[in-house]
Chains A and B, each alone.
Chain A
Amino acid sequence: MTAEPLLLLVEDELPVRRFLRAALGSRGYRLVEAGTLREAEQLATSHNPDLVVLDLQLPDGDGVELLTRLRAWSARPVLVLSARGREEDKVRALDAGADDYLTKPFGAEELLARIRAALRRAARAPGEQPGPVLEVGQLRIDQARHEVQLGGRDVKVTPIEFKLLLLLARNAGKVLTHRQILVEVWGPGQASQTHYVRVYMAELRRKLEEDPARPRLLLTEPGVGYRMADRPPGESQGG
């Protein structure tokens, strides 16, 4: 039968590791721990963990390096930990293939929720053909007919808005950087035109949010990008 998920913790600071060990171990996760990039790489290769929790500032280098090497052979989710005010680190990590990030300091509940969400996404991603219809909360996207519905009501969107919405919905719960969105929707030539994304997101919010200034579905990650709130199909978007 399926064993409990195996997590690799890469963190050099012992007090934080102790806290992670306590918080995760008690929830039934199996753990392997590393304090340096080298150790982490060895453990990742030998154990092939289901998820990696990776601190970006390690004594022997930058966590993003490990992430890049890891992504060469593994698609397993990586959750990065970074200090506050270092948005560019987060963007770099996400662009290099991280699934999510947490800003230190963070609470145990928050960490557990993110790990659960990342594992859930990883579990449904491979092989699973979601079919032509994608549902996130009240949002329903029919990929075959290019139709969008919210709570049963038709919503008219332009082709670019559709592409943008579909990208976010396919990655519901995951942060997408401005760059990732630009490359996917507008093409690699437009990777620096951040304001395209912002203008189109504003338009989508006007169409899909009750109050565009207090979005419930299309969330902003300041300085990093956007995330579509992940909700089971049919669940309402209430606060």
Chain B
Amino acid sequence: MAATTGVAWVARYRFSVPDVEMLFLLAVSVAAAFLGKRPSLLAAALGVGCYDFFFVPPPFTFDIGDARYLLTFAMLFAAGVVVSSLTSGLRQERQAALRREERALAQYGLASALASASSAAAVCQAAARFAASAFGGSAAVLLRGEAGTLELAAAEGGAPSPELTSWARSALASGRPAGAADGLLCLPLLAGLEPVGVLGVAPWAEDGSDAERTPLVEALAQQVASALLRVRLGEEARQAERRASAEEQRSALLSSVSHDLRTPLAAITGAATALRGDPALPPAQRAELLETVCEEAERMERLVANLLDMTRLQGGAAPRREWVPLEEVLGAALARVERLLGDRPVKVEGAAALVHADPVLLGQLFLNLLENAAKYTPPGTPLTIRCRQADEATEVEVADRGPGFGQAEPERLFERFSRGSHPGVGGAGLGLAIARAIAEVHGGTLTAQRGDPGAVFRLTLPGAGAPPEVPPEREAV
């Protein structure tokens, strides 16, 4: 206003511009357009004051010589008020539009996060994050557990207060919003008519500034509830499918295995009854029959052990992971196949690496690979076991230099009851299927490739971070 007064002063007394009030009108309008409501009213009042003091005769007083100037004052002030209220209305609308857009974007983000969430935990996480950012406080999603208790599924902006938890319980029980008394909101999540959980938001003013957000938060609760319902139905369908396929696999396993069990049993029964029936058998024949009994019993034992492993792995038993050097696991497996491997030289490279795996299961995996190599390669063929460790994965390759698997598709090796085409090789063809199942329960893979020559089995285990520290030790004795 001081600048305007200066400019007007110069204009009036240097250039004899007659209507300096127009300059004040301009200044008041500009102030109203760019400043808030109060500053623009102040500017209008100041403008009127300055105009009066400096320009209205008699100058340098607030006295008004001519009553017509009162009209000018009124118009100046009115212009300021009108322009400022117009622009501030516009500004508010623009801000509201921006907010709406932001919210719509966030809601769109939430909708896509909910749609792609494949677990209840992911749904709750997305909902809590959205609620906390949309309502500018903390938010939590609690789900009803097996026993009807509420369990925290996700929280954003700090852990939920005990009040929130207790209001959530009553919201779940009543199926109605609760928590107003403590300045927070607990909305039940209704999947159909059944409350499956609670969305909690804090702080929340029931009839204050948060009232306009009520439809939004209700829509959110509805969205989350239906996402949870979708996830649950999907999980149930998958479980039913798994059960059905496990059942199918079990019966397939049983029917094909009964044959494999009967063959050694027949041999044992035959040999034992022959021994009992004829005490006068020549010693050589007796020895042969006894050998049959022992060998066939061993074969049965291997088969039963394999079957047990298979059912246990299919039953979804979780591996008991420990940090263990590959060398130790490989060493134990090698010791068990020592007799079977005979004179095949075995070279082990890079096995000092630690892996996070179930040592017993992993040992079984290597044992099966080594047994396989012993069965299908001629005596004396060398075996190489190479281990490589990187951050993201550990790789172990078991390579033989035997005949390989010919024309067979490598993947077929891992099917149950698939046996190599070599005559006289026993076993139920479960070894590689079990090895692969073990790799899979560890989140890894087991594949077969053609070597040059021979076969290469490659185990890949996902990385599990850095192994835990072992306290250091200094001096040597």
The interface of chain A, by Cβ under 8 A from chain B, is 84-85, 87, 105, 107, 146-147, 156-160, 162, 193-196, 198-202, 205-206, 211-215, 219-223, 239
Given known A-B contacts A158-B476, A160-B473, A213 and B327 have beta carbons under 8 A apart: yes
B354 within 8 Å of A (CB atoms): yes
Q: Mark B461-477, 1 if CB is under 8 A from A, else 0.
A: 00000011011011111
Name the segment of B103-111, B223-231, B252-260, B318-326 touching the other chain: B318-326
Name the segment of B179-187, B328-336, B415-423 touching the other chain: B328-336
B23 within 8 Å of A (CB atoms): no
B301 touches A158 (CB 8 A): no
B338 touches A239 (CB 8 A): yes
Chain A residue nearest to B385 in the complex (CB) = A213
Nearest CB on B from A170, distance (A): 17
Select which of A105, A160, A162, A220 is within 8 A of B328 by beta carbon: A220
Given known A-B contacts A213-B327, A222-B332, A162 and B467 have beta carbons under 8 A apart: no
Name the segment of B129-137, B166-174, B197-205, B345-353 touching the other chain: B345-353
Select which of B305, B325, B331, B477 is within 8 A of A84 by beta carbon: B305
- Number of B interface residues at 8 Å Cβ cutoff, please give it: 38
Q: List CB contacts (< 8 Å) of B64-78 with chain A.
A: none
Given known A-B contacts A84-B308, A222-B332, A195 and B473 have beta carbons under 8 A apart: no
B94 within 8 Å of A (CB atoms): no
Complex Cα gap A195–B357 (Å): 12
Nearest CB on A from B241, distance (A): 28
B266 within 8 Å of A (CB atoms): no
B335 touches A219 (CB 8 A): yes
Chain A residue nearest to B476 in the complex (CB) = A156
Complex Cα gap A15–B330 (Å): 36
B359 within 8 Å of A (CB atoms): yes
B335 touches A214 (CB 8 A): yes
Nearest CB on A from B246, distance (A): 19
A198 touches B308 (CB 8 A): no
Contacts of A202 in B (CB 8 A): 325, 327-328, 352
A158 touches B473 (CB 8 A): yes
Q: List CB contacts (< 8 Å) of B295-341 with chain A.
A: 297, 301, 305, 308-309, 312, 322-325, 327-332, 334-335, 338
B363 within 8 Å of A (CB atoms): yes
Select which of B301, B328, B351, B474 is within 8 A of A198 by beta carbon: B328
Select which of B305, B327, B471, B474 is within 8 A of A205 by beta carbon: B327
Complex Cα gap A162–B338 (Å): 29
Given known A-B contacts A214-B334, A222-B332, A223-B359, A195 and B323 have beta carbons under 8 A apart: yes
Complex Cα gap A85–B385 (Å): 26
Among all A-B residue pairs, the 10 with the closest Cβ atoms:
A213-B348, A223-B360, A195-B323, A220-B332, A146-B477, A202-B325, A222-B332, A156-B476, A222-B363, A199-B470
Complex Cα gap A200–B354 (Å): 12
Chain B residue nearest to A190 in the complex (CB) = B471
Contacts of A195 in B (CB 8 A): 322-324, 354, 467-468, 470
Select which of A212, A213, A215, A222 is within 8 A of B360 by beta carbon: A222
Complex Cα gap A28–B378 (Å): 43
